[in-house]
Structure 1
Amino acid sequence: MRIRQPGKVREQLWLIGREESCVYILEGNNESMIINGGMSYLVPDLLRQFEGFGIDEKRITKLLILHSHFDHVGTVPFFKRRYPNVEVYASARCWEILQMPKAIESINAFGRSVAKRMGREGVHATYDLAWRNDITGTIVSEGDRIDLDDLVVQIIETPGHSSCSLSAYVPQFKTLFASDAGGVPYKGKILPLGNSNFTLFQHSLEKLKDLDVEYVCADHYGYIAGNEARDFIRQTIEFARQERASLEEAYRRTGDIDIIARELTADFYRKNPDYFIPPTIFEVVSRQMIRHLADAMKGNNF
């Protein structure tokens, strides 16, 4: 079962934001954690939802970034500046990326581009949302745990979608926060986004498949509950296998990464014209993913 509407997932867990960009609030007995930074233009939505759902934002003491892509870190500067004592957690590679001037420039530019596409560009004029080099935090890695009063958040390194990707698992709730490393639930399918390294993406899925899961909280298009959640990662593994085979066949047919990226992008937006990411960004990401597969087919190691 897939749920896209913001609201209570279960006791002590909320989905907030919008269907294309989801943020989660995990509530301990005395403090709360934000999981995923979402898109920058979500800020007014989140503030309204805090009030509407009765979420006390002053209880938020922790924020977990699952990877450094612009659509997953957009609200972090706002909340860190609003509440300087909030502890922000991310992988070492993520913190490295978030200090790079070029990466910061891209995060801000892409955030504004998508806000414009979604008719929300005015949000950037109202709130201080820009990433600068003033955001720092704590490194977490494989096997670490973040304690939230009575709850434990286990950290799993799941690179492949991004070189810095993490997943989080809360055993008490049998809840997995895999971010895009677990696939994106979209229109009855799953998008297997092995953007930076498709091989590592598939390896990471294998790490997640045996977890005891009742909820998969995705960063895009809501959360999955029940039987579908229990089988979600295995479904993603199959979608990834099919996608890889299709892209490898396209490369054998054309031998041209740029042609495949353009064809893939054109076909996707012909079927999904309302997808939130602009086609220009989608094509750049597709080219990166195909380049890895082409190199892997040539026997290059990663």
Structure 2
Amino acid sequence: MESYGQMFEIQGNIFYLDTYAHGMSGAIGVLICRSGGGSVVFDSGMPNSKNNILKSIERLGVKPESVTHILLTHRHIDHAGGASFLLDEFPKASIGIHPFSASALSNPTKIYDGGRELFGEYATPMKPIQTSKMRTLGDREEINVGQEAVQAIYTPGHTSDHIAYYIHSSKILYCGDVVGSFNALRGCVHPTCMYPSFNYEKYKITIRQIRAMDLEGLVFPHFGYVLGRRNVRDVLEKSLSAHMRLGRIYEENISKPDPSKLLNELKTALIEATEIFPGPVREKAAELMARGFIEGFACGR
């Protein structure tokens, strides 16, 4: 495997790229869709992902000036961190974002601080995105990328500013983190209920919304994709089941006199979900997800 990560063809014009984040494969992916008259990159990886993404685009024969859109799912550093660096290379590109993301990305200090809390030394500094390069997207707004049509769909739950992107021609949804993280080898889905942004009730509403869509595929930044209607349904059911399991742990432990019991039980249940993180930060990731579920579950009670 090449050091900058593998690339997988999902369909003729849609490619999934392993950004080889943190020097490991299977951690963070981005999606590239090339179309006559323009190309789009979905998410931007970590701040230091630029070179890996550029090499993959070069392998596809996509010229930097043909990239017209970078569409971000949400503001977290592992999705939006590389956006401003990619803009330096894509002179005709704009950044598609949720309106809630605009101020945070124009001054990303808080995003970077949150990234440092989780990723430690693996998080490198972000750069501000110029507001003139931002395009705030409405719910169900259509984005034309050359001959391809993409729809932005508000999908809160993982964060309040979360957007998934539906590619009409292929009926594929780039779902960001709202469904969870996907382990293709085990065929399982893990919650990504990161503190302090997770909201359990909004997550459930979003999953019901996605289940009602006409989908042939789901693409996950963490990590990979599934194709076929039945596989999509199965993955969504597994996501719900995984979150409901955490809900049962919450109910069983919330009234116990030792408040650390609930946190520790959730951390244990979430340990497999940390495999997408570098080894040294997995304990911290489990803690932040456990805290995120406690806060996000309680706010809907």
With the shorter chain as reference, the TM-score category is: 0.7 to 0.9
Contact 2:249/2:265 (<8 A) preserved: no
Structure 2: where are the runs of 5+ without partners? 21-25
Question: One-letter code of the match for 1:193?
Answer: T
Q: Which position in structure 2 is the counterpart of 1:233?
A: 236
Normalised TM-score (structure 2) = 0.82
Say which of 208, 211, 223 aligns to 1:209.
211
Say which of 161, 181, 185 aligns to 2:182.
185
Q: How far off is 1:107 after superposition?
A: 5.3
Contact 1:89/1:139 (<8 A) preserved: yes
Say which of 200, 203, 222 aligns to 2:202.
200
Normalised TM-score (structure 1) = 0.82
Sort the Cα spacing of 1:133 and 1:210 in 2 relative to 1 into closer, same or farther, 3 A: closer
Q: Which position in structure 1 is the counterpart of 2:83?
A: 76
Count matched residues. 281
**Which whole-Å CA distance do the structure 1 matches of 2:95 and 2:138 have between them?**
14
SS at match of 2:189: strand
Q: Which position in structure 1 is the counterpart of 2:249?
A: 246
Within a 5 Å distance, the mapping from 1:76-225 to structure 2 comes to 76-100=83-107, 102-106=109-113, 109=116, 113=120, 115=122, 130-132=126-128, 134=130, 136-186=133-183, 187-195=186-194, 196-225=198-227
Q: Which position in structure 2 is the counterpart of 1:291?
A: 295
Q: Which position in structure 1 is the counterpart of 2:71?
A: 64
**Which whole-Å CA distance do the structure 2 matches of 1:81 and 1:193 have between them?**
30
Question: One-letter code of the match for 2:254?
Answer: Y
2:62 counterpart of 1:51: no
SS at match of 2:30: strand
Contact 1:24/1:36 (<8 A) preserved: yes
Q: Which position in structure 2 is the counterpart of 1:120?
A: none
SS at match of 2:88: helix
Sort the Cα spacing of 1:238 and 1:43 in 2 relative to 1 into closer, same or farther, 3 A: same
Sort the Cα spacing of 1:58 and 1:37 in 2 relative to 1 into closer, same or farther, 3 A: same
Q: How far off is 1:201 after superposition?
A: 0.7
Identity of aligned residues (%): 20
SS at match of 1:95: helix
**Which whole-Å CA distance do the structure 2 matches of 1:208 and 1:184 have between them?**
16
Contact 1:62/1:87 (<8 A) preserved: yes
Q: How far off is 1:5 after superposition?
A: 5.1
**Which whole-Å CA distance do the structure 1 matches of 2:34 and 2:118 have between them?**
28
SS at match of 2:178: helix
Sort the Cα spacing of 1:110 and 1:22 in 2 relative to 1 into closer, same or farther, 3 A: farther
SS at match of 1:39: coil
93-102 vs 285-294, greater mean Cα deviation: 93-102
Structure 1: where are the runs of 5+ without partners? 117-123, 298-302
Q: Which position in structure 2 is the counterpart of 1:300?
A: none
Alpha-carbon RMSD: 2.7
Sort the Cα spacing of 1:44 and 1:60 in 2 relative to 1 into closer, same or farther, 3 A: same
2:301 counterpart of 1:280: no
